[in-house]
Amino acid sequence: MMNAIELLKQDHDKVKKLLEEISDTTERAFKKRAELLSKIAMELEVHTTLEEEDFYPAFKAAGAKEELKMFHEAKEEHRAVEALVLPDLLDTDPGTVEFSGRIKVLKELLEHHIEEEEEEMFKTAQEIMSAEQLSTLGKQMGEKKVKLMKKAA
C-alpha cells in the first residue's frame, strides 16, 4: 500500500518517462506522437485531479503561510499546462516542427513543476503531516485513481 506521496511520485515517474519518449520522436512519427500525447494528457488529468481535490487541500490545511504560497504556485503551474500548453498541443499537427517545439515547452514546464513538488512540497508534507494521515490519504487517492482512470479511458 502506497502513501499519498509515493503514489504521486509514481505518477511523476510515469509522466517523465512518457515525456522522454515523445521527445525522442521526430516529425515522421506523427502517429506515435499523437498516441503518446493522448496518454500524457490522460495521466495528467487524473494526477492533477488527485492533487487538487485531495493532496493539495490536505497539505494546505496542515500548513501555514509558506505552504499556502506553495499551494498557489503549484495550482498556477497546473493551470498554465491545462489551460494553455496542453490544449495548444492537442490542436497542433504532430507532424510539424511546431509540435516538437511545444513538446519541449511542456516537458520543461512539467519537469520544473515535478521537481518543485518533490523537493519542496512533498518534503514539507512529510514534516507537517503524520505518517498515518499520509497513508490514509494514499489509500483514498488510490481508490479514486482507479475510478478516474476508468472514466478517462
Closer residue to Fe ion (CB): 67 or 117: 117
Min CB(118)–Fe ion separation in Å: 8
Fill in the per-residue mask, 93 to 122: x = in contact with Fe ion (CB under 5 A), - = not in contact. Answer: ------------------------x-----
Q: How far apart are CA 139 and CA 153, in angstroms?
A: 21
Min CB(135)–Fe ion separation in Å: 18
Min CB(97)–Fe ion separation in Å: 28
Min CB(96)–Fe ion separation in Å: 28
**Cα separation values, 129 from 102, 140, 141, Å:** 37, 16, 16
Closer residue to Fe ion (CB): 16 or 32: 16
Non-local CB neighbours of 77 within 8 Å, separated by 6+ positions: 109, 112, 113, 116
Q: Residues 71 to 90: which contact Fe ion by CB under 5 A?
A: none
Q: How far apart are CA 59 and CA 67, in angstroms?
A: 7
Closer residue to Fe ion (CB): 22 or 125: 125
- Long-range Cβ pairs for the range 116-119 (8 Å, 24+): 116/70, 116/73, 116/74, 116/77, 117/8, 117/12, 117/74, 118/9, 118/12
Segment lying near Fe ion (by CB under 5 A), choices 20-28, 29-37, 47-55, 121-129: 47-55
Min CB(150)–Fe ion separation in Å: 21
Positions that interact with Fe ion (CB under 5 A)? 51, 117
